[in-house]
Amino acid sequence: MFYYGKNAQFLIDREQLAFPIRAKYDEVDYPTIFAKPIKITTQTLESNANCIEMVKFKLPTLL
C-alpha cells in the first residue's frame, strides 16, 4: 500500500517521521541512533521468511 503526500526526513538535527507515533499501540520512537544494528534484530530479520509472523511474534519488544 502506498501513501502519497507523506514526507519523512532524517536530518542531522531532527527527524520528521512520515506517520505519528501511536502510544495506544505501544509504538515507540527511540531517541538513540545506533551506529551498528542491534544483533538480535538483524538475526531475527535474517532468519524469518514470514514477515507477518515475525512482526507479530519474533521481533524484540525492547532495545
Q: pLDDT (tens digit, 9 = 90+) per residue, 37-53?
A: 888 889 999 999 999 99
CA distance 21 to 29: 7
Q: What does the pLDDT average to over 22-41?
A: 86
Domain contains 7: no
Considering only 7-11, 21-25, 40-44, which range has the smallest mean pLDDT?
7-11
Structural domains in the chain (count): 1
Domain contains 58: yes
Per-residue pLDDT at 2 exceeds 60: no
pTM for the model stands at: 0.49
Q: Are 60 and 38 in contact (CB under 8 A)?
A: yes
Q: What does the pLDDT average to over 26-42?
A: 84
Q: Residue 54: is it exposed, middle or buried by C-beta count within 10 angstroms (0-12/13-18/19+)?
A: middle
Q: Which domain holds residue 53?
A: 28-63
